[in-house]
A = this chain, B = another copy of it.
Amino acid sequence: MCQLLGMNCNTPTDILFSFEGFHRRGGLTDHHADGWGIAFFEGRGCRLFLDDKPSADSPVAALVRAYPIQSENVIAHIRKATVGPVGLANTHPFIREMWGQYWIFAHNGDLKDYHPAPGQYFRPVGSTDSEAAFCAIMENLRQRWDAPPPLHELWEEVQSLTESIRAHGIFNFMLSNGEFLFAHCSTHLHYIVRKAPFTTAHLLDEDVTVDFANVTKPDDRVAVIATQPLTDNEHWTRIEPQQLILFKDGQPLYCS
C-alpha cells in the first residue's frame, strides 16, 4: 500500500523527525519500491522533490533528510504502483496552478472504472487514476469559481466532489494550496496535533527520539497526518472512513 504523510502548521516547521520514520517505509521496513515525492510550501512558493527510486535508496531522500526546510504545509507520498507504470510522470505528489496559487495532491488507494472527461483547465500528464482525480477536482473548482471562494464554500464543494469520486474505490488523499490542507480517509489515515506543553516523541520505525520542547516556541501548533502513526508513545487520532478534514494553522478547522 502507498503511504501518505502531511504536515500543516501555524508557523514554518521542519518535517525531519516525521520524514525520518516515514521514508524508511519506502523499501526498508515496508514494501514500497515504486518512487516517492515530497512537496514543501514556503510562502506562495512550492518546492517539489520527486524520485522514481525507492525512498530508502534515493539520493533525493538523503537530501531531504539532511536539509531542514521550514514549511507550513507539506505533503509526501511513497508509491506502490497499482494503476499506471512506474515513472516520473506517475510519481506523486502532483502540482498544478489555480487562481494564482500552486496546488499539491497525493493519493493512496485505487479507483476502478474512473475515467473523467479531459478538462478545459486541467489535464493529466501521466496515466494514474490519482492524477485523473486531482485534475477532476481542480477542473470542477475552477469551472465553478474564477477566484478563491470563501473557505467554507470551498470545503463543501471538495466534500461533494470527494463523495462522487470515492464511489469508484479507495480514495485516501491530501490536497493543499499552501494555506490549508485537506485530508480524506477511505481506509487508513491518522493525525496528531502537537502543541504546548510539548513532550518527547519516539519513532516506531527507528530508535529515534525528539524532545519537541527544545525545538518549539509556546505558540507553535503542528498537525501531522500519516497513513499509520509514526510514533509509539503519543496518541494519534484515527480519521474515520469517509471523513474529510480541513487542517488550517496546525489543527482541524472543518470535519465532515
Contacts and interface: CB of A to CB of B under 8 A. Distances in A.
Nearest to A42: B88
A60 interface: yes
Contacts of A60: 63, 67
B96 A125 contact: no
A172 B69 CA distance: 31
A48 interface: yes
A101 B88 contact: no
B100 A118 contact: yes
How many copies of this chain? 2
Interface in A81-107: 87-91, 95-97, 99-102
Contacts of A89: 43-46
Given A50-B45, A63-B60, A100 B88 contact: no
Interface in A25-79: 42-52, 59-60, 63, 66-67
A124 interface: yes
Nearest to A88: B45
Interface in A147-165: none
Interface residues of A, number: 35
Contacts of A51: 47
A122 interface: yes
B63 A125 contact: no
Contact of A59 (B52, B67, B100): B67
A254 interface: no
B96 A123 contact: no
A99 B120 CA distance: 9
Contacts of A50: 45, 47
- A48, A60, A100 interface centre (most CB from chain B within 10 Å): A100
A126 B63 CA distance: 26
A121 interface: yes
A2 to B, nearest CB: 17
Nearest to A102: B125
Given A59-B67, A63-B63, A45 B100 contact: no
Nearest to A37: B47
Interface of A: 42-52, 59-60, 63, 66-67, 87-91, 95-97, 99-102, 118, 121-126
Which 5 A-B pairs have CB atoms at the shortest separation, nearest pair first?
A: A45-B88, A45-B89, A100-B123, A44-B89, A42-B88
